[in-house]
A and B are shown apart, each in its own frame.
Chain A
Amino acid sequence: MKWVGKPIAKTDALAIATGRPVYTDDLSVPNTLVIKLLRSPHAFARIKAIDTIAAAKLAGVECILTYRDVPGVRFTQAGQSYPEPSPYDRLILEDLVRYVGDEVAIIAAVDEKTALRAMELIKVEYEVLAPVLDFETAHEHPSTVHPESDLYCHFDIGMDQLNNIVASQNIEKGDVEAELARCEVVVEDTYYTQAQAHAMMETYRAFSYLDHTGRLVVITSTQIPFHVRRKLSRALEIPAGKIRVIKPRIGGGFGGKQTAAAEIFPAIVTLKTGKPAKLIYERQETFTCTSSRHAMRLKVRLGADRQGYIRAVDIQGLSDTGAYGDHASTVFGVVGEKTLPLYNKTKAVRFTGRVVYTNKMPAGALRGYGATQGAFALESAVNKLAAELHMDPAELRLKNIIRAGETCLTYGGKLLGSSSLDRCIAQGKKLIGWDEKYPRREMGQSKVRGIGMAVTMQGSGVAGVDTASIEIRLNDDGNYTLLTGSTDMGTGSDTILAQMAAEVLDTSLDRIIVHAADTDISPYDPGSYASSTTYVTGMAVVKAATDLKQQIIAKAAAFLETPPEEVAFDGQTLRTLAGDREISLEKLAELLVLGIGKSQLTAYATHGSNISPPPFIAGFAEVEVDWETGKVELIDYVAVVDCGTVMNANLARIQAEGGLVQGIGMALYEDVRYDDKGRMATDSFMQYKIPCRQDIGQVRVQFEESYEPTGPFGAKSLGEVVINTPSPAIAHAVYNAVGVSITSLPITPEKVFRGLGNR
């Protein structure tokens, strides 16, 4: 293949790297109103009175909005296809505030200083309520986070509103209790995964204005332009056709920008004032008032026979969605979806539990989306089982993992299309030196090194739900325009889509203009999330490009006065097979738009998948633990990935390295923490530590390609699966080093040190 798989630089690389004005705030115009949001200082309170008179009188203040001034329609910020499985449980502004940072008033002024001064002049009287802060007792708390009567769910997600339960799950195949009773070895433990922050470098932001026809235009750093349009339409009570959402370059998302946290505020200000308005979240707001990963408690029971065949998997979960139910039921569902199929020698599997409301910042989508939480719990339990069986954990996995062509209890007879996980494990073992280093090596001076491992899977797109469309046009100059509604957030997906089109059309990348994403122009795409772009949107590209190629050949055949089967197309020239006549693509393109009876060629394709084929990864960690302090240093991390066909070798490698490092941060120190009043304590990069350059030891990535029959050129996804193994693999390495089993993330020196004392 000419383009697929090649390490091609991103088409927008130079513009973004050298500082061209291509991000949301760069595109705002002079005299744009600046918005600031007055936020609740209380975790749970009712607004008794709010006085904005003095603030509104301040020169330069354009508008101040409170709950009295906004539509009363509940909506969700979660970026999901309609009808969303997330409850419609929020208003733009409400007289009930549900976490420290919940919006109380919208202030728009000529500049930031004026807006901040006005904010100080607003007087709010609160009736402070008892907040629900502990997610483990939320269901029995006397306070109800969502007492309103107009909360709405499209589906029965198992909500028990009065008991703070937003969603419940109960999936069982076979009889888990009976099977566990029959098992010769049963291990059980309860695992805790923390809330994690996305910490993308560009904070949340949006800018809006009215165009010459009075339509609302919103330029926003989002992963989900079409979902944003629909949300604005509902929340603002205006038709979606009156709204245009444009996504420029995005400075990182990681799932955070799959939640529409910012757009509604400038949009309503522009509608109320008729003026351009922008909202740029400060870093503190991004930490405290947007979303984080759902913190979870997962109790796992695994049963196996003496030979090491896992016969029963039982996971009971509890998830903390915070103040609003964005992605609550779906993130939780993914915990089960991406754990139960992994080991398929089972006779019974179960995933049960619930998601609760608390008075903390809402949780939302974050890379891994529940699979990360599930992987920590399941893989830690599998490692515990290996220890109990005195079996090499790699061998235990090779005995039990699902393989291509097999099914499992939760697949309903569907077969797994592709997997090279067995090869990933074998290759990873070799790279890390498993057989020489397992389980530990004394290093002297109170240091010991251990190695550990984990495997996980993710999905590729949302099966049966998300559907993407692609349009490719042959332009009058013989070049192509590829129109997509998907959103490249830095991964290089625009480039990868162009690579696929170039492969089919036998052309070069510089002859394809990629246009993304503008809801007025782009064909519909749910956006970039759920590891879907390469797999779902990519398949639409292949279909559209194939169709366009056939159209080009058919048109050329007419010009060459020969049947289409007699025309050969090398990407530039169309020739008869006999070689006696030819026409260049450029000339054909020109003739197609000249004169009467002609038509410009354009191909259009839509693709959705009824399956979500999993990519796999095997992760191996080597750590050095200090007996005296409990300090854990990551020495080496090896990951071997099966993402089907690798579409772009360099972009894939960086995507994997970046995800692994985010996972390493989560494993060792990233932790969203609250004080006992519900105020977030980790609201800056001073308190919330993401990995910096000095924290990264050796991280090595390799690919073991498989071929996914339902994917474009055999591709599956990559973006999310890479974040899942570090937590369980590092915990396992610590266990192998010093015998301390860490069951709650992050794996801090304090926890290890205490564990050493308790051994």
Chain B
Amino acid sequence: MQIEVTVNGKPAVWEVDNDAMLAETLRTHGFLSVRKGCDTSCCGLCTVWLDGKPVLSCTVLSFRAQGRQITTIEGLQPQAEEFARILAAEGAEQCGYCSPGFIMTVLALKQEISNPSEADIIHYLTGNLCRCTGYLGQMRAIKKYLGVA
């Protein structure tokens, strides 16, 4: 079927299979920042925004995006880079494979919760797994980025 979407601010018309998932559709159209890590919506790697809210694109049927705004990290490069620099200064990106999904969630957190506590941050980001860093460096980076103690 055909869907009309807005991706990173640009309109697009895509032909998608009825059972296609958004993560794969996005990759097919060149949005290679979108990664998959689990096949069971457990890991958070495929996180993109749908109408400004983070979703797991591996379990969103592509046709569900009909008429909606999709945002990937390609569309948020200045904001992503700002946080990525802080993350990198901590050494906390390691393999980087989970970073785009993680950063999309961090940027959403920033929009959604002002002055979050450590518990708020952990709660918001629990669905974003990382096997390299042990999360502690990521937390240090998030706190610096958000300016919270």
Contacts and interface: CB of A to CB of B under 8 A. Distances in A.
B117 interface: no
B91 A651 contact: yes
Task: Label chain A's interface by main secondary structure.
Answer: loop
Interface residues of B, number: 50
B60 interface: no
Contacts of A25: 32
Nearest to B95: A490
Interface in B15-50: 32-35, 37-40, 42-43, 45
A254 B134 CA distance: 13
A685 interface: yes
Interface in B95-131: 95-100, 103, 122-123, 125-131
Interface residues of A, number: 55
A440 interface: no
Interface string A1-26: 00000010110111111111101011
Nearest to A685: B42
B134 A660 contact: yes
Contacts of A657: 133-134, 136-137
A201 B97 contact: yes
Given A9-B89, A9-B91, A650-B89, A251 B97 contact: yes
Given A13-B84, A654-B137, A199 B131 contact: yes
A17 B99 contact: yes
Contacts of B125: 693
A555 to B, nearest CB: 36
B2 interface: no
Contacts of A684: 38-40, 42
A199 B98 CA distance: 12
Contacts of A691: 134-135
A201 B33 CA distance: 14
Contacts of A489: 95
Most buried by A among B80, B95, B125: B95
A693 B122 contact: yes
A20 to B, nearest CB: 7
Contacts of A540: none
B99 A18 contact: yes
A674 B97 CA distance: 29
Contact of A249 (B40, B89, B96, B132): B96
B123 to A, nearest CB: 8
Interface string B70-85: 0011100100110011
Contacts of A662: 131, 134
B87 interface: yes
B80 A653 contact: no
A18 B134 contact: no
A710 interface: no
Given A16-B99, A19-B100, A492 B129 contact: no
Most buried by A among B32, B89, B100: B32
A283 interface: yes
B92 to A, nearest CB: 6
Interface string A188-216: 00000000001111110000000000000
Contacts of B77: 18
A20 B130 CA distance: 18
A686 interface: yes
A753 B86 CA distance: 44
Nearest to B87: A17
A658 B93 contact: no
Interface in A481-495: 489-492
A200 B91 contact: no
B40 A654 contact: no
B4 interface: no
Contact of B72 (A19, A23, A251, A650): A19
A558 interface: no
A648 B90 CA distance: 11
A694 B126 contact: yes
A200 B133 contact: no
Contact of B134 (A21, A199, A251, A696): A696
Nearest to A656: B134
Contacts of A284: 39
B90 A654 contact: yes
A639 B127 CA distance: 27
Given A492-B91, A685-B42, A685-B43, A17 B131 contact: no
Contact of A200 (B32, B95, B122): B95
Contact of A19 (B38, B74, B95): B74
Nearest to A200: B131
A191 B91 CA distance: 36
Given A201-B37, A202-B35, A283-B39, A654 B92 contact: yes
Nearest to B81: A18
B146 interface: no
19 contacts: A10-B88, A14-B81, A18-B84, A18-B99, A19-B32, A19-B100, A21-B32, A252-B97, A650-B92, A658-B94, A658-B132, A659-B134, A661-B134, A661-B135, A686-B42, A693-B125, A694-B126, A696-B134, A699-B134
Given A690-B131, A694-B126, 4 more contacts: A23-B97, A201-B35, A251-B95, A657-B136
Please give me the 5 A-B residue pairs with the lowest Cβ-Cβ distance, nearest first. A19-B33, A16-B96, A490-B95, A251-B97, A650-B91
